Amino acid sequence: MSDTTPELQRITLYIISDSVGETGFNLAQAVMSQFPKIKPIYCRFPFINTEEKLNHVLEQAKADKQPIVIHTLATKGLSSMVANFCEQNGLVHYDYISPLLNEVSKRTGLVQTYEAGAVHHLNARYFDRISAMEFAVLYDDGKDPNGFLKADVVLLGVSRTSKTPLSLFLANRNIKVANLPLVPQAHIPDELWKVDPKKIIGLTNDPGILNNIRRERMIAYGLNPDTTYSDMTRIKEELDYANDLYQKLGCMVINVANRSIEETATIIIEALDLQDYE
């Protein structure tokens, strides 16, 4: 008997903020939780506090498949920039903060401060988290190998082993994380060998699950799912290469198959005794 279970519909949501972006993300999750038959794809863009950064994100949204744009921008001029761009390019957008700001200003005659993330003002732990988030973005995907020597945790893994979302989740716990994608025959930065192996976490996955994730990723982009990227032989070669490297480094290895980001993060926090960072 064939499986007639319908494929879940997908909706892409761009969540843009000039701070961490938790407000917009939490509201988006609250809305999407009401639609269990839809698979939301959350694209988060924190710390978008200049017109140049914002324009880059908006052009990306324009090129994407009609995402819903959600923004919580307090920096002066940025919310109107989103509105104008989206209206000119036929994009749906929701401003979660300006209408209420304008109403309060209208009733009181006072002008807002235009301070991004002002709700967290003077909260030392908040600024630690901001620093960790900026660190995660700066040293994502091995952009700068010097980050390995400054990080509390270094994540390694082949493509689609949750390195970036895990980095951001840990950063939200005030933990500075750098990560490096592993590709066979690619050069391993010298800085990695100077890191204490206890700080390094090797991420792996089951070949079948990784194959499904990569195929779905290609489908989400409207591309052919049957490519070298999702080829089982290639996937096994990548995982073998990664596991050989982990053995040479002597680092901890975590199989993320069927594990949530939260579960994997908890394992890392407990294994590295990072509870005091939270």
Question: 204 near 242, Cβ under 8 Å?
Answer: yes
**What is the three-class DSSP state of 161?**
coil
Residue 87 to residue 91: CA distance in whole angstroms: 6
- Encoded tokens for 265: 């993060």
* Short-list 261, 251, 96, 95, CA closest to 172: 261
User: What is the residue type of 234?
Assistant: R
CA nearest to 161, candidates 200, 201, 119:
201
Annotation: binding site for ADP = 157-164
Which residue, chain included where needed, has tokens 């390195």? 163
Query: Annotated binding residues, as ranges?
Result: 157-164
Q: Select from 73, 80, 75 the least CA-distant residue to 15.
A: 73
DSSP annotation of 146 reads: T
DSSP strand pairing (38-45 vs 9-17):
parallel
How far apart (Å, rounded) are the C-alpha atoms in residues 97 and 110?
16
CA-based radius of gyration for the chain:
21
Burial classification of residue 128, based on how many CB atoms lie within 10 Å of its CB (0-12 exposed, 13-18 middle, 19 or more buried): middle
Helix (H/G/I), strand (E/B), else coil: 41: strand
